[in-house]
Chain A
């Protein structure tokens, strides 16, 4: 029986493939009936594919109906202790008639006038504002929004983040500087419209490819455009957006459900995951990670964030909000490592790259927590100074601002002054100027605040803004390389562009020089600092790799062979995500290892097997062999670079409703995709159904009567009695 069953199934499968042949035969698929606009070219292409590929891939009928949109990004649902934010569609996707909104007046059609609700609004990037989205949110006639990315970026700025980023998770609260809490004293991100923190009941997609946007607009103009006052007729061009989210309400709810399901259910289903990744850190003088640092040993800590986000999942260019500053940080680390006699400095320097800072300080809160709980080789007591590099885009003139905590000034004014002086002294000979801010201004959102919450540490946050952010596109899709004026002449090949020293790189290298020299002095270095110099060439390579394309010869040579798949012809997203580590973390890790490590003269086996508490060894791909086109010259890198967990302590403690620690989680989903197609009128559909039912009924009646009269109809005189049934 079993064999028979399997045989039967196989046959059905084979037959299924055959159906493609037969179908082509029976239904054909050429010659156009009503060719309009775009359709012609697309049709030809598809037809050729259909004919050539035959039984191959997806169903040819589906290809006749739908055009999938391949380069889209979706807004997804995130949750914290109390809220859900983001978007979601229904289980089977939300469908609506497309309406293009290019002027603010156009929205009237979808909100009141249009006769075919629900609508999916194709929104011009410039109009993607809080006001308009609020209007759409109110309406029940909207089933989704597709946003076409604006090129060039909106002049007046755009930031979906809040006006007071990470409010409530920094140091200022009712206990500590209540006058500074909730950005009372300063709105750091005045352009922030808070769209990211809104909960939308319809899906929102970003169209990243202009060609696809053009196809949709063509379809709209052909079918949906109201012509001289008359209402457009069916068929209409429609869009379907799939972004059904599994989790709801809050982190508390979704984590509880996840843990319940994993305990009781036969088929456990995770419905949300904490946002988590790894921090990257290293020290000038290697420290033993399996023991704790002696409390007499002092460390100067440098920190930056390496993450950003936007309204859309895994679209997080973060050029100014993350990349420029961590590139400066990396360049400074390299400069110090190259300086003479740094290993004999009285204090150690720790380079720290925090993940998840844009989500209520995930990385720094975890590291500070670990330090406090003695789970980290370095303790809070070891930290002598804390220097944070916040947003550092090149400015003209090159002026940067040293932010300090007004409340620490009381007890720690001497140490803070030492830091300020060290930074100021270091600018000599560079084009950079650093200035103090007014002593009554609070710290901007920074990782340092998480350390300050636990212990009073003298610290400075270096940033490109005096008062509110200079960045017009804080945590948005437009915070790209253009935002930090990174331009390459068009004629350069990718490899030439990699080594082309841009103005941005020069100016960031100068900042890195200042930082490196200041660190040298803070670490107790007494010699001349003029020899410490950050290399603009390294900076430009990093900017190219982190902001233009990761798949370049330098990145290829410094990562492990099994990671070469992460290199792409575009910059990596700097979203923290839930899979770990993300590509951005890997890249920062290997760049830092390359810049601060040394080449260890080891064979591959020794390199892979040696793993000390002091150092980390990595067998990297190495540069292309000049004598051969395909092989590389791999080598072993020894560095003091380590990863440390960047998952919020709230999840470690299972305090999902925590107000102390970040509680952000990301919902799971099955699919995120979008497609366009035509919808037929209800009338046509009902006619089809009626015709079908009429034919069915006629068939039964006719069959019944003929069956009854069969004798008379077919009987011949000789054979009238011999009817078989």
Chain B
């Protein structure tokens, strides 16, 4: 299993879409300080299945699981063997959708990314004292001016990151051995997000707090896209 989860954050830092193919840990461990926990290999993990099952969107997805997996199979003709298809289907059905958008994991992930993004931008620009607030603002909106964060990784996982000019952030958590998936994230924005969210008149463009993308077309096409990649099962 090489692609673990996929996240979309809007420009107000809210998680508007979260799709998990394999659970991220909700580590509630209170043990020890930062340096010691990062050295010990095992951290206590809490299963997320309980919280996931309570969510209505998950239940709804599982009901419509049959139609969804059909589309997946038809898009995966290249994979051929039915055992692979069964495995993909199982992963798609077992995962959760929009179950932990406001969870600590989601916030930690965003916080990590936000700090790293800030470091990569500030290190390549002049020190803050020499630029005014106006300049900082305009440099964020101007094209290709700043150094963009691409990915970060540990020995266990890798997070790929793509940010649009409008401040939407696309994230995918994968195996550390996987090639750069920035182009794929861009593809999702251009071909899936734009088609099924922005051009959908019934779907809002600006998300309020606790509002998420619950658009079945978007969910299905993104699932089909990720499961169609050769990296989805490694």
Tell whether A pairs with B.
Answer: no
Instruction: Give residues in B with beta carbon < 8 Å to A.
Output: none
